[in-house]
Amino acid sequence: MFLNKLMKILGLFLIALTFACSVNPVTGEKEIMLMSESEEIQVGQQNYGPYLQSLNGVYQNDHVKEYLNSIGLQLVRVSHRPHLPYEFNVANASMLNAWALPGGKIAFTRGLMSEFKSEAQLAAIMGHEITHVTAKHTASRWTKQVLANIAMQIGSAYLYSKNEAYRKNYYLYNTAAMFGLNLAFMAYGRAQESQADVIGMSYAVKAGFDPIGAVEVHQMFQKAFNEQPNGLKELFSTHPQSHKRIETTKEEINRKYASLRKNKKLTYNTPRFDEIRNIFQKEKPAYKKYDQAQAEAARGNYQGALPLYIEAVSMKPTEALFHADLGYAYMMTGQNTKAENQFRKAHNLYPGFAKSNLFLGQLKYFQRDYNASIGYLREADRLLPGSPQVHLMLGEGYENTGQTRTAVEYYNSAFKKSQGTDLGNRAYGHLRRLGVAR
pLDDT tens digit sequence for 265-284? 899 999 999 999 999 999 99
Q: Give yes or no: residues 369 and 404 share one domain.
A: no
Number of domains in the chain: 3
pLDDT value at 329 more than 80: yes
Q: Which residues of 340-361 are buried (b: 16+ CB within 10 A; e: fewer)?
A: bebbebbbebbebbbbbbbbbb
Q: Give yes or no: residues 304 and 241 share one domain.
A: no
Task: In whole angstroms, give the CA distance from residue 321 to residue 303.
Answer: 18
Q: Give yes or no: residues 100 and 248 share one domain.
A: yes
Distances (CA, A) of 387 to 372, 376, 415: 19, 14, 11
Q: What one-character DSSP code corresponds to residue 22?
A: E
For the stretch 65-117, pLDDT in tens is: 999 999 999 999 999 999 999 999 999 999 999 999 889 999 999 999 999 99
Q: Give yes or no: residues 237 and 176 share one domain.
A: yes
Task: In whole angstroms, give the CA distance from residue 430 to residue 176.
Answer: 37
State what percent of residues in the chain have pLDDT above 70: 80
pLDDT value at 183 more than 50: no
Q: Give yes or no: residues 127 and 237 share one domain.
A: yes
Task: In whole angstroms, give the CA distance from residue 45 to residue 41.
Answer: 6
Task: In whole angstroms, give the CA distance from residue 187 to residue 193.
Answer: 10
Give the range among 315-319, 400-404, 415-419 with minimum mean pLDDT: 415-419
Q: Give yes or no: residues 328 and 399 share one domain.
A: no
pLDDT value at 326 more than 80: yes
Q: Which residues constitute the domain of residue 96?
A: 2-263
Q: Give yes or no: residues 392 and 353 share one domain.
A: no
Q: In the structure, what pLDDT confidence band is assigned to residue 39 with cuts at 50, 70 and 90?
A: confident
Classify 30 as helix, strand or coil.
strand
Q: What is the structure's pLDDT at 136?
A: 86
Q: Give yes or no: residues 162 and 298 share one domain.
A: no
Q: Is residue 380 part of a domain?
A: no
Gyration radius from the chain CA atoms: 25
Average pLDDT value over all residues in the chain: 85
Q: Is residue 271 part of a domain?
A: no
Q: Is residue 381 part of a domain?
A: no
pLDDT value at 331 more than 50: yes
Q: Give yes or no: residues 333 and 217 share one domain.
A: no
Q: Is residue 318 part of a domain?
A: yes
Q: Give yes or no: residues 75 and 139 share one domain.
A: yes
Domain boundary among 339, 374, 409: 374
The continuous run of DSSP H or E covering 288 comes out as helix 271-298
Q: Is residue 43 part of a domain?
A: yes
Q: Give yes or no: residues 325 and 415 share one domain.
A: no
pTM for this predicted structure: 0.83
Q: Is residue 66 part of a domain?
A: yes
Q: What is the structure's pLDDT at 229?
A: 63
pLDDT value at 13 more than 60: no
| 419-429: average pLDDT | 93
- The partner residues of 106 in beta bridges, in order of sequence, read 88, 100
Q: First-to-last CA distance in the chain? A: 29
Dihedral Cα 309, 310, 311, 316, nearest 10 deg: 90
Q: In the structure, what pLDDT confidence band is assigned to residue 166 with cuts at 50, 70 and 90?
A: very low
Task: In whole angstroms, give the CA distance from residue 194 to residue 128.
Answer: 9
Q: Is residue 274 part of a domain?
A: no
